[in-house]
Amino acid sequence: MAITKYTCLVCGYVYDSVHGDPDQGIAPGTLFDDLPEDWTCPKCGAPLMDFTEVVRNTSEVIIEEEPVKDEPTKVIKKKKVELPKKNEE
Ligand SMILES: [Zn+2]
Please state, as a whole number, how many other Cβ atoms lie within 10 Å of the Cβ of residue 9.
15
Q: Ligand 1 mean position to 45 CA, how many Å?
A: 6
What pLDDT score was predicted for residue 84?
73
Q: What is the pTM of this model?
A: 0.59
Q: Phi and psi (nearest 5°) for 32? A: -60, -40
- Tens of pLDDT along the chain (89 residues) come to 556 899 999 999 999 999 999 999 999 999 999 999 999 999 999 999 999 998 765 445 555 566 666 666 666 666 666 777 776 66
What pLDDT score was predicted for residue 57?
58
End-to-end CA distance of the chain: 23
Q: Ligand 1 mean position to 78 CA, how many Å?
A: 26
What pLDDT score was predicted for residue 59?
46
What pLDDT score was predicted for residue 4?
80
Nearest one of 37, 7, 39, 13 to 26, comparing CA atoms: 39
